[in-house]
């Protein structure tokens, strides 16, 4: 289902021209398709995309974990601890937008909404593991990414099931 620029711009509190430029940038990256007079369509993600995304995350994350456990900069740890505290607060309140914003901040600084399959945010475990050995940090990050990849794949499977159900209902609907 296409996203309408006017409605999306209003929801995000931005101008249509800003949204249009953002959509063009995302289109150049293959993340959306821009359809003239229809709107913006988010690109489908495949199982191979999930594997590729999490392989890249693992490589970057493990390098970051090695750097963090190798240098033990207290200022970096304090900054990460603040971000994790913020994530836990907004996660506890169920504030979807704030959780996503804080997770983005955490991702950008180093290296929910309440996701199906999770009852709590697990970034505290990652932070605690960084205080341990490099092996502990790498193991915790690897486990974290595996859970994330499995959750995303499960969501893709669920979406595919819903699409199939919708197509089936559409085919079976009486024509009038």
* Contact indicator for 119, 101 with CB cutoff of 8 Å: no
Residues 8-51 have pLDDT tens digits of 888 878 888 888 888 888 888 787 888 777 888 888 878 888 88
Contacts of 37 (CB under 8 A, 6+ apart): none
Identify which of 59-63, 116-120, 171-175 has the greatest average pLDDT.
59-63
On whether both 11 and 90 belong to a single domain, the answer is no
On whether both 77 and 149 belong to a single domain, the answer is yes
Asked if residue 76 is part of any domain, the answer here is yes
What are the DSSP calls for 80-126, one per residue?
Answer: HHHHHHHHHHHHHHT-HHHHHHHHHHHHHH------TT-SS--HHHH
pLDDT score at 95: 66
On whether both 31 and 51 belong to a single domain, the answer is no
Report field, pTM of the whole predicted structure over 0.75: no
On whether both 65 and 149 belong to a single domain, the answer is yes
On whether both 23 and 103 belong to a single domain, the answer is no
Domain that holds residue 55: 47-171
Tell me the C-alpha distance between 50 and 149, whole Å. 6
pLDDT score at 115: 38
Give me 122's structure tokens. 């697990």
**Res. 105 pLDDT band, cuts 50 70 90:** low
Give me 121's structure tokens. 């945010």
* Contact indicator for 77, 54 with CB cutoff of 8 Å: no
On whether both 97 and 113 belong to a single domain, the answer is yes
On whether both 15 and 54 belong to a single domain, the answer is no
Asked if residue 176 is part of any domain, the answer here is no
On whether both 36 and 57 belong to a single domain, the answer is no
On whether both 111 and 167 belong to a single domain, the answer is yes
**Res. 119 pLDDT band, cuts 50 70 90:** very low
Give me 149's structure tokens. 């990849």
- Measured at the alpha carbon of residue 142, what is the angle toward residues 141 and 144, in degrees to the nearest 5? 60
Count of domains observed in the chain? 2
Asked if residue 161 is part of any domain, the answer here is yes
Tell me the C-alpha distance between 112 and 87, whole Å. 8
On whether both 103 and 165 belong to a single domain, the answer is yes
Does residue 153 surpass a pLDDT of 50? Answer: yes
The CATH number of residue 112's host domain is: 1.20.120
Does residue 159 surpass a pLDDT of 50? Answer: yes
On whether both 19 and 73 belong to a single domain, the answer is no
Residues 55-96 have pLDDT tens digits of 888 888 888 888 888 888 888 888 888 888 887 887 777 766
Among 108, 104, 115, 103, residue whose Cα is nearest residue 153: 115
């Amino acid at each position: 289902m296409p996203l309408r620029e006017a409605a999306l711009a209003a929801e995000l509190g931005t101008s249509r021209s800003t949204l249009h430029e953002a959509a063009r940038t995302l289109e150049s990256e293959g993340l959306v398709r821009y359809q003239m007079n229809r709107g913006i369509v988010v690109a489908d993600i495949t199982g191979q995309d999930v594997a590729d995304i999490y392989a890249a995350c693992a490589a970057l994350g493990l390098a970051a974990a090695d750097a963090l456990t190798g240098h033990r900069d207290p200022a970096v740890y304090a900054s990460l601890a603040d971000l994790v505290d913020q994530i836990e607060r907004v996660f506890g309140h169920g504030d979807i937008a704030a959780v996503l914003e804080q997770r983005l901040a955490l991702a950008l600084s180093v290296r929910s909404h309440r996701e199906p399959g999770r009852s709590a945010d697990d970034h505290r475990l990652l932070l605690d593991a960084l205080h341990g050995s490099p092996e502990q940090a790498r193991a915790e990050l690897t486990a974290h990414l595996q859970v994330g990849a499995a959750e995303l794949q499960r969501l893709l499977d669920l979406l595919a099931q819903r699409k199939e159900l919708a197509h089936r209902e559409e085919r079976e609907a009486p024509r009038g």
